[in-house]
Amino acid sequence: MNVVLNAAPGIPLLGPSGASAHVRGVAAALGATVVTARREDRRGRHAEVGFPVVETGVPGWPSWLEPWREYTEVWAARRVARAAMRLPVSLVWERHALYSDAGWKVHAATGAPWLLEVNAPLVEERLRFETVRRPDWARAWERDVLLAAPVVAAVSGWLVDWLRSLGCRRVVHLPNGVEPHAGDRAATRAELGLEGAFVLGFVGSMKPWHGVERLPGLLDAIPDAVGLVVGEGPCPSHPRLRRLGHADPARLAHLVAAMDVGLAPYGADAPPWFCPLKVLAYRAQGTPVVAADVGDCRGLVGPAGTVGEDLVDAVRAWRGRRCVPWVRSWETVVSEGRAALAG
C-alpha cells in the first residue's frame, strides 16, 4: 500500500490552501492512503477525495504550557506514524512537517521506501512568519530528519541548493504539479459577463507577500481592464476588481481559462524557496503569465509570459495573445518521485 503522510496540523487535507491541494494531488496520482493529522479545520471542507483517509487528530494543549506548544506537533506526528504502521505499507511519501519524524519511524519499522518532500526550509519559514519558541531545538530536529531521509525531493531550485548544503544523502528537484482539467474560456467569460473585457487574473491565498495589493494600481493604469481574484484572504478593493473566492480544481480551470493574463506579482519580501502553483495553473490553460522574478517563477513561466519587468508594460504586451497550454500533472510528479526512489 502506498501511503502519504501529512503530519502538519496547519495543512488539513481538505483545506483551501495550495499546500492542501498539493497533498491531495500527490495522493490521488499515487493511488495512496493518506494519513493526516487533520482532515479539515475551522475553514471548513474545500474538496472531496476518492482515496482512503486516516485522520489521527491533534492533541489539545493548555495555555499555561504555551512555551512548550511545539510538543503538540511532535505528538501529532507520532500519532500519524503509529496509524501508518498499522497499515500494510509498501511506499512512504511524506510532506515534510516541522517536528515530524513520522516517515523516518515508518521507514525504520517497515523497511518501506521513504521519500521526504520538502516545500520550504521550515524553521526559517516559521521564524520569518510566525513564532519559534525553541529555535535551536527546532533546527536540530529538522536537520536530523533531513539527513536521515534516503531521498529528499525539493520543489524548487533554491531548496535543492539548501538541502545539498546541509549534506542530505540524495536530493532531487521535483517541482509541483497541477490537475489537468480543460477550461472552457468562452462559456466562462459569457457566464461572468466578461465578453470583450481584458481580464487580469490572480489565483492564491493572498498572503502579504503575494503582491495582490498591486492589482488596484494596475487596474488604474489600464482603464479597460477587469481584475478577477480567485482565492480567500485579505484583498484590496477596486470598482473593477471581482472576488470569486475559493474554487475547486475543475472550476479553477474554467476561471483561469477566462483570464487574458495570469498574475504572480510577488513582492520583494517574498521567500525565494517556493514553486508557485498559480503559475502552473495559468500555463495549463494557455493563459499568459506576468510574474515577479522570485523563486522558480522564471523557469516555470518559460516562453509563456514575462518575468521581472514593469508590471503594466508586461501586461499590455500580452493583450490579445494566448500561449500553448502546458500541463505538468501530478502523475508526472509522482512518476519522477518513484524514479528517484528506484534510482
Instruction: Print the domain residue range for 49.
Output: 2-177+332-342
Residues 203 and 155 in one domain: no
CATH number of the CATH domain containing 32: 3.40.50.2000
pTM: 0.93
DSSP β-bridge partners for residue 264: 291
Number of domains in the chain: 2
User: Would you state the pLDDT for residue 65?
Assistant: 63
Per-residue cell: 169: 544523502
- Based on the fold, state whether residues 170 and 82 are members of the same structural domain: yes
**172 found inside a domain:** yes
For residue 135, what pLDDT is reported?
Answer: 92
pLDDT band at 219 (very low <50, low <70, confident <90, very high): very high
Same domain, 86 and 163: yes
Residue 211 maps to a domain:
yes
pLDDT digits (tens, 9 = 90+) for 66-77: 776 788 999 999
Report the C-alpha gap between 214 and 315 in whole angstroms.
13
Looking at the structure, tell me whether residues 161 and 253 fall in a common domain. Answer: no
| Model pLDDT for residues 94-106, shown as the tens digit of each residue | 999 999 999 999 9
Helix axes 330-342, 18-30, angle to 10 degrees: 70
* Mean per-residue pLDDT, 291-318: 94
Q: Tell me the per-residue pLDDT of 279-299, one tens digit each, with 9 for 90 and over.
A: 999 999 999 999 999 989 999
C-alpha cell, 62? 493548555
Q: What pLDDT shows up at residue 269?
A: 87
Q: pLDDT of 317-339, one tens digit each?
A: 999 999 999 999 999 999 999 99
Instruction: Tell me the pLDDT tens digit for each residue of 126-161.
Output: 999 888 888 999 999 999 999 999 999 999 999 999
* C-alpha span between 312 and 200 (Å, rounded): 11
Same domain, 158 and 209: no
Tell whether the model's pLDDT for residue 241 goes beyond 80.
yes
Residues 209 and 112 in one domain: no
205 lies in the same domain as 136: no
pLDDT of residue 64: 59
Q: Are residues 241 and 293 in the same domain?
A: yes
Least confident span in 51-65, 128-142, 239-253? 51-65
pLDDT of residue 256: 98
Neighbouring residues of 165: CB distance < 8 A, sequence distance ≥ 6: none
pLDDT in tens, 151-209: 999 999 999 999 999 999 899 999 999 999 999 999 999 999 999 999 999 999 888 88
Question: Same domain for 150 and 189?
Answer: no
Q: How high is the pLDDT of residue 130?
A: 83
Nearest to 258 by CA among 301, 219, 202: 202
Indicate if the pLDDT at residue 79 is higher than 90.
Answer: yes
The pLDDT, as a whole number, for residue 60 is 78
Q: In angstroms, rounded to a whole number, what is the distance separating the alpha carbons of residues 9 and 240?
A: 37
